[in-house]
Amino acid sequence: MFQNVGEMVILFWSTLLALPATWRQRQKVSDQFFEIGNASLLMVCILSFFIGGVIALQTGPLLVERGLGSYVGGVVGFSICKELAPVMMSILIAGRIGSAMAAEIGSMRVYQEIDALRTMNISPIHYLVLPRLVAIALALPLLVTFAILVGWLGGALVCVANDHIAISFAAFFSALRDTVNVQDVANGVFKSFAFALIIATVSCHQGLITRGGPRGIGRSVTKAVVNSIVLIVFSDYLLTRILLK
């Protein structure tokens, strides 16, 4: 385990050192960026809409019963932007995009495509890891911003439509504006940026160390997703502690 952690740190550091080459790899960054967007936007939309709705449904009646109806918008808005959108969307992207990264790089490793790159003096870090890391680091915060807005909308619609809550659209967003400030949203987006780096590093590392045939690729994909999720949840706690100060 410690060897894996060490290798991931080295991979991440090597990729950071390769960042000046990003412009040269812009076409690949752009391809990856749109692939991530295309693959995830609809799922992000559906997931965040219903997360917002469920939070409103769970908290709304309780708060209204106690005469705290004016706080529903704040509770839903705050929990979505600071916690649920960044964590849930990152887990979704770890499953959808991290697995694809590990599978693609893993199969390239197994079928000697990475060896072929090395014999041509093409660094796998520049060619494979850098574009993926940059693309996901740009795409995930954007997806999370979008998820926050859709989640708020989902929460608001449930508050309007549900008889046990029955809060107007304007009242929901007025409460949300009073509770949630720009820094809260920025915190959530910043967290998603950190999670994006984790997903790319873990998934690319698992791909690069793949051994064996199709079974090895399957193992790498599973490890990439599970390790990414564990690290996302663990670093979420650390980041929350740091950002609360």
Partner 1 sequence: MTSTPSHPGGVSVRVRGLRKAFAGQDVLAGLDFDVQPGEIFVIMGPSGSGKTVLLKHLIGLEEPDAGEILIAGKPVRSPEVMSQYRMAMVFQSGALLNSLTVGENVGLYLAEHRLKSPEEIARIVTEKLEVVGLKGTEERMPSDLSGGMKKRVAIARALVIEPQLILYDEPTSELDPLSSVVIAEEIVNLKQRIQVTSLVVSHDRDLAFGVADRIAVINKGRILTIGTPDEVRRNPDPLVEQFLHASFKRL
| Residues binding partner 1 (CB under 8 A) | 24, 104, 107-108, 111-113, 115-122, 127
Which C-beta is closer to partner 1: that of 126 or that of 223?
126
SS (H, E, C) 129-190: HHHHHHHHHHHHHHHHHHHHHHHHHHHHHHHHHCCCCCCCHHHHHHHHHHHCCHHHHHHHHH
Shortest gap between Cβ of 111 and partner 1 (angstroms)? Answer: 6
* Residue in the block written with tokens 């504006």: 177
Closest CB 122 distance from partner 1, rounded Å: 5
* Beta carbon of residue 118, minimum distance to partner 1 (angstroms, whole number): 6
Residue (of 232, 54, 93) closest to 240 by Cα position: 232
CB of 128 to partner 1, least distance (A): 10
Nearest to partner 1 of 111, 169 (CB atom): 111
Closer residue to partner 1, CB minimum distance, 3 or 121: 121
The Cα–Cα gap between 219 and 210 comes to 8
CB of 127 to partner 1, least distance (A): 7
Tell me whether residue 15 or residue 90 sits nearer to partner 1 (CB atom).
Answer: 15
Distance between CA atoms of residues 68 and 54, nearest Å: 18
The residue (of 29 and 231) whose beta carbon lies closer to partner 1 is 29
Alpha helical stretches, state H, the chain: 2-17, 26-65, 72-79, 85-93, 99-110, 113-119, 124, 130-161, 169-179, 182-208, 214-244
CA–CA separation, 33 and 93 (whole Å): 12
Least Å from the CB of residue 104 to partner 1: 8
- Other C-beta atoms within 10 Å of 165: how many? 21
How far apart (Å, rounded) are the C-alpha atoms in residues 216 and 5? Answer: 19
* Among candidate residues 195, 162, 194, the one with its CA nearest the CA of residue 91: 195
Residue with Cβ nearer partner 1 (19 or 116) = 116
